[in-house]
Structure 1
């Protein structure tokens, strides 16, 4: 495929799908065309996270564990490696591009193949086929994984350009993305450009909190609920919607199109918690993602035209369920904590009062642990956060091997029409190739 472009821009704003974007891909037998695609990506959510969720939901030392909703729909696994010449461990941009286009590429690339040529995404193809499209996430909506489905840029760090492209690029003269829900106000309202105003002029609704989201009735919608990323689910107040609430709001709008839709939902901050080695944040975000997956399956129940797929772009942190030969993981410790270590650290620095811990951590700490935390209050919030993370990992017996990504295969879960096509082990790029084949 080297040197071949299956997708070109006819103008800076207009895409041309005159060439068949999936002609080199293999044909899949035993398939039916799919009207609706709901694609969920738990960023950083390797097997240890979903296994940990099973322990977390069980929270007992005895008896058989009930399966999670993920367990019920497990079909296979996929390899995550990129084609980066400097690294054989993927980043979210390269993995997102493989999942969205069918082409593995270099780390940092969005919607480009290894030769930096633009290749079409499944979201764009869905729009070309007359479907509605949506992006939902808990990071800024112009972050790497989400952006890989709707932009074509050499570096994932070009956040302003990605946001601009969400508005400026058209397919068949129509807006590329119909529903966008997540964080990122600071990238959409800038000194050089106010994209929010421009979206509103293009007949989009605009909402900034849960109450407005629930009240809004526009079919096309931009929802920005934080300057950059949303607070983690455990830290959210009532004003910020959950991933499940955003997913439901997107589905309510996208289903109005008789031609169907493509919706991408990202549990963005499972990965961010993994980078921090923060098991409280990790379980909070996996639970948030679990609820969104339930919402997607609920939509697809009793329908014969919809596929729901959930997977990860890679795993993060090398999380292990138990550490130091303890043979006992303690999710009850994690459940007894009411905020992420970062929020607890911030409040400790505000109050300078160790009694603040009692409002957030409902398990008994040793005197030595308290002294360590007290010492960090003379340092930075980040130091206190790290001390809390270390203590929580110790008491919960959670292990980690890295603060970066890891290279193991990740799970695939599927429900609905053509579910069988995603069974077994495959390359991450194969998922997009299948979707290109089966989308109506």
Structure 2
């Protein structure tokens, strides 16, 4: 092929992917959300009155896949910190690293670059706001375990003389209200509105910096705050507070999908998936009415090695998961002191236990709620035919979802670092 022809093809290819730069960018991480979670969620949401298996918001937004491994000196399976650093900086690092490279040197994040440009920035998560993923976008530390140091850095470290985050919504009283330092009071004195009850979100003054902490560590499970979707409430508030003429960057995390996977808790995991699904539905409509906004969704890794089908059975049944009135963890706490365990379990699970299942509960001689919740999770696994291979992470590729200007740039298969590199380019970094 002649050089002129090659240049013509290259020009045509680049024009296909040309998009106006988005004013607003929203990055969403479903922590621990491997492809098996989005597949299970499709079945969980299936309308049994129709002959089809309906698509979910995840199916409608799917554009690509990403590899997730950390720096290869750490092997092939990442933790959330190294993955968040890859997604926020475009570099590979060691497990446990927050915004630093393999040599423990700080690397600029997409959130910091957006702030440097004059955009407003925020995080809205269901974990503590200084947990691995939000910290990976807004902090730099050699270890994700240094929670107090990371919390301090949100106040102490600035970009162009300004706080890195205009909006912080999630959990974290334990780390922000301490004997040695009260960061809540410091932020309030610096002009931030502070709320500690989600019912207060609607009363916040608009266009002002906000710190909202709603739990000691992470928020309660979605199953334990039924009919009050918590991540959608955080995200709609964050977007409202961040909207401005120069644009904004928002990091959103469905944090506790990962926690459900670690706990091998299929009920809690599907509850968290639904909380995130409702959030993505709202964001999709927001992009429809704000075509200058791009949102990208991915996972940092998958957790638990969840299998849709177990014990050699060619079946998976989400029906037993759909009527729970509380999470298995909460139910375990309730069962410790109750006289009639079977009656309470039937009521909270939404189905009648079999004689064998009743026996498993009634023979427990322990005051440890975890013992009870373990039995409940086993019952739900058996009924739904769910399997697990680990209580940790797995190294499988994860999905990429996107909508808005520039969404076509995230298609196909790529590495997770490519997501950050593309976001940097969309933000205007040379």
Distance 1:246 1:352 in 2: 38
**Counterpart secondary structure, 1:328:** coil
Task: Give 2:330's aligned residue.
Answer: 343
Normalized per residue, which structure has more helix?
2
Q: In structure 1, which of residues 91, 95, 113 is the aligned counterpart of residue 83 of structure 2?
A: 95
**Shift, 1:32, TM fit:** 2.8
Distance 2:47 2:340 in 1: 31
Q: Give yes or no for contact 1:315–1:405 (8 Å, CA) kept in 2.
A: yes
Q: Which runs of 5+ in 1 are unaligned?
A: 1-26
* 1:97-176 aligned within 5 A: 97-176=85-164
Distance 1:413 1:154 in 2: 30
Task: Give 1:296's aligned residue.
Answer: 283
Give the total of aligned pairs.
412
Distance 1:59 1:396 in 2: 17
| Cα displacement string for residues 235-286 of structure 1 (whole angstroms, at most 9, x for unaligned residues) | 0278x7610010000000111x211000000000000000011011000000
* 1:44-63 aligned within 5 A: 44-58=32-46, 60=48, 63=51
Query: Over aligned residue pairs, what C-alpha RMSD do you find?
Result: 1.7
Q: Give yes or no for contact 1:377–1:384 (8 Å, CA) kept in 2.
A: no
**Counterpart secondary structure, 1:413:** strand
Task: Give 1:308's aligned residue.
Answer: 295
**Counterpart secondary structure, 1:263:** strand
Q: In structure 1, which of residues 279, 284, 301 is the aligned counterpart of residue 266 of structure 2?
A: 279
Q: In structure 1, which of residues 409, 412, 416 is the aligned counterpart of residue 400 of structure 2?
A: 412
| Cα displacement string for residues 184-224 of structure 1 (whole angstroms, at most 9, x for unaligned residues) | 01100000000000000110000011221111115210000
Task: Give 2:185's aligned residue.
Answer: 197
**Shift, 1:303, TM fit:** 3.0
Task: Give 1:11's aligned residue.
Answer: none
**Shift, 1:326, TM fit:** 2.1
1:37 and 2:25 equivalent? yes
Task: Give 1:329's aligned residue.
Answer: 316
1:373 and 2:361 equivalent? yes
* 1:64-103 aligned within 5 A: 64-83=52-71, 85-103=73-91
**Shift, 1:59, TM fit:** 5.1
Task: Give 1:216's aligned residue.
Answer: 204
**Shift, 1:329, TM fit:** 1.2
| Cα displacement string for residues 344-397 of structure 1 (whole angstroms, at most 9, x for unaligned residues) | 110001324212112201223222221212223425211111111111100111
Q: 386-395 or 303-312, which moves further after superposition?
A: 303-312
Q: 109-118 or 84-93, which moves further after superposition?
A: 84-93
Q: In structure 2, which of residues 214, 218, 228 is the aligned counterpart of residue 225 of structure 1?
A: 214
Q: Give yes or no for contact 2:47–2:54 (8 Å, CA) kept in 1.
A: no
TM-score computed with the length of structure 2 as normaliser: 0.93
Distance 1:235 1:84 in 2: 39
* 1:233-248 aligned within 5 A: 233-236=222-225, 242-248=230-236
Q: Which runs of 5+ in 2 are unaligned?
A: 1-13
Task: Give 2:6's aligned residue.
Answer: none
